[in-house]
Homo-oligomer: A and B are copies of this chain.
Amino acid sequence: MFSTYEAVEVGATTTHGEYEMTREEILTFAEQYDPQPFHTDEEAAESSLFGGLVASGWHTASATMRLVVDGILEDSGAMGAVGVDELRWPNPVRPGDVLSIDVEILSKEPWREGIGVVRTRIDTVKTDGEVAQSYVGRVLYPMTGE
């Protein structure tokens, strides 16, 4: 979306999506990366805090990243990310949920020689309007001085 640090518009808000979280992908991801019973076992999940199978938060974060890349970073000047603050999972993602992202550019400032850092709020929203995940990311962009 933005080719350089200078092109980044603080205050801009956009929406991108969709990503469907299928039961099969929830199970495949969890078996490899997060094999807790409420992510891998329907029956065990029924008696968990969630009352049914839910996606790993890291799966939601990864699917969100795909929406970020397709919606914002592809063909942009983004050089990588420093990190993420306040990553929260306020509502669980269940099989069949379709995710989209609400993006807000919060701020930008110089980071190192020729590179700036952009703070962006990314909310991951389900079709029913519930926020499944939120965080503030810090992404690097080249500064051209123009």
CB within 8 Å of B: which residues of A? 29, 32-36, 38, 48-50, 56-59, 61-63, 65-66, 69, 73-74, 78-89, 115, 135, 140
Q: Which of B50, B86, B135 contacts A80 (CB 8 A)?
A: B50
Query: Whole-angstrom distance from the CB of A133 to the nearest CB of chain B?
Result: 9
| Residue pair A81, B62 in contact (C-beta under 8 Å) | no
Query: Whole-angstrom distance from the CB of A3 to the nearest CB of chain B?
Result: 14
Query: Whole-angstrom distance from the CB of A127 to the nearest CB of chain B?
Result: 20
Can you sample 13 A-B contacts with CB below 8 Å? A34-B62, A36-B80, A48-B80, A49-B80, A56-B65, A58-B58, A58-B61, A58-B62, A62-B62, A82-B89, A83-B88, A84-B84, A87-B87
Given contacts A58-B58, A140-B49, whether A33 and B83 have CB atoms under 8 Å apart is no
| Residue pair A48, B79 in contact (C-beta under 8 Å) | yes
Given contacts A58-B65, A65-B34, A69-B36, whether A85 and B83 have CB atoms under 8 Å apart is no
> What residues of B have a CB within 8 angstroms of the CB of A89 in the complex?
81-83
The 4 A-B residue pairs with the shortest CB-CB distance, nearest first, are A83-B88, A33-B62, A84-B87, A58-B62
| Residue pair B78, A36 in contact (C-beta under 8 Å) | yes
Docked pose: A116 CA to B89 CA in angstroms: 17
